[in-house]
Copies of this chain bind each other. A is one copy, B any other.
Amino acid sequence: MSTYSEQLGGYTGTISSEITETLRDAIITGEISQGSKLSETKLAKDFDVSRGPLREAIRNLEGMNLIVHVPQQGARVVTLSMELILEIYDTREALESKAASLAAANMTSVEIDELHRIIDAQSKHMRDNSNSYIPAESDYDFHDTLVRGAKNKVIESALLRRLYPLIKMFRYQHEFASTSTTNSLQEHRQIVYAIEQRDTELAGVTVKRHIIRARDRIERRLTSIVGDKNTKRAS
């Protein structure tokens, strides 16, 4: 649950760090709704702390792209428009496919074993609950491990710290919590295969396709609801 907040943010002990995590979860789950204003004075009263740590927490959330802070106007929870979601997935496509290439070159055998364990668990889960979905947490585990395996701290923070929170927020609130079943698992297997072969190019294109497919599913699903907004797309 608090996996990446401990490893990446390094939050320890401080009040602002606890508030950061609490607010983060509240935003991701939608308990604090999209677009709503985060009043410093009000939140300070709610948490019974001074405004100092609260401002720090807001800054932290801004670093996760979960809120947008406008000087002298305050902070608002990000609004997940369809346009933004697609932009996020385009960005993820670029970063995570590169991460996969690097992972194929740099992952240790121990880390590859970890990928196998995750996939096996997913496989078992689907045998047990026939034709079920991959649990969201397990899917995150897979991608987390993949990204960390790239051994590139810049890509890692761009993805795990700045992009994934938004993706989690979207999935949670749109009940995309479950990724599609058989196909995704098969794609995960292909990814691990490519990495195992140390085939950097194959790993890259396989992950790229994996994410493009997710993006397209989302686009189809959202357009069927929202109607036909103009969407831009390339490559």
Chain A residues proximal to chain B, CB less than 8 Å:
10-14, 17, 52, 55-56, 59, 62-63, 65, 70-72, 84, 87-88, 90-91, 93-95, 97-98, 101-102, 104-106, 151-155, 158, 162-163, 200-201, 204, 232-235
**A105 (CB) vs chain B CBs: closest residue:** B234
Copies in the complex: 2
Q: Once the chains bind, are A88 and B234 in contact (CB under 8 Å)?
A: no
Can you sample 11 A-B contacts with CB below 8 Å? A87-B153, A90-B102, A90-B152, A91-B95, A91-B152, A94-B155, A95-B95, A101-B234, A102-B234, A151-B232, A201-B235
Q: Once the chains bind, are B14 and A72 in contact (CB under 8 Å)?
A: yes
Q: Once the chains bind, are A154 and B200 in contact (CB under 8 Å)?
A: no
Chain B residues with CB under 8 Å of A88's CB are: 154
Chain B residues with CB under 8 Å of A14's CB are: 71-72
**A97 (CB) vs chain B CBs: closest residue:** B94
Q: Which 7 A/B pairs are nearest by Cβ-Cβ distance? A: A94-B98, A200-B234, A105-B234, A101-B234, A101-B235, A59-B59, A91-B154
Q: Once the chains bind, are A70 and B10 in contact (CB under 8 Å)?
A: yes
State the Cβ distance, A234 to closest chain B Cβ, in Å: 4
State the Cβ distance, A175 to closest chain B Cβ, in Å: 23
Q: Once the chains bind, are A71 and B234 in contact (CB under 8 Å)?
A: no
Chain B residues with CB under 8 Å of A93's CB are: 98
